[in-house]
Amino acid sequence: MSTSETSRFVRLRVELVVEIADPDVVTKAALHRIENDPDMPEGERVYTESAVSEDAAEALAYLIDPSELIGEMPGVELAQASWSSEEIDYDPESPDWALDEDDEAEDDEDEEEAVLR
């Protein structure tokens, strides 16, 4: 397949599990960013400050900016981004947390679909 026949859009999936060692520091950083955001409407500012003050996961999500991952990467433009955060029970020894587990399941589904055709 030539380059002109393939899509120029790529879905990049990144999953991170982080430990918030100091929720107060994360919350303060998020509040500082909100306070210094000149583009945030006042009504949204009040809501966002409340959300990040009540939940360190929300504070972390507010501090993450997918466009910063792409930055000034040559030849790449961010077309769309979404992200979320949630508190989870994490056990690094559990097989449920093996990396690429979702990718393997999707590959198996793709193979099954190909066989059925």
Residue 40 within a domain: yes
Residue 18 placed within a domain: yes
114 occurs within a structural domain: no
List, in sequence order, the alpha helices (H) in 9-100.
Answer: 23-35, 42-54, 56-63, 66-70
Burial class for 116, CB neighbours closer than 10 Å (0-12, 13-18, 19+):
exposed
Instruction: Extract the tokens encoding 11.
Output: 């879905």
| Domain housing 56 | 9-91
Predicted confidence pLDDT, tens digits, the chain (117 residues): 455 567 889 998 888 899 999 999 999 999 999 999 999 998 899 999 999 999 999 999 999 988 888 888 899 999 998 888 888 888 888 888 776 655 555 555 555 555 554
Within-domain flag for 97: no
Q: How many domains does the chain have?
A: 1
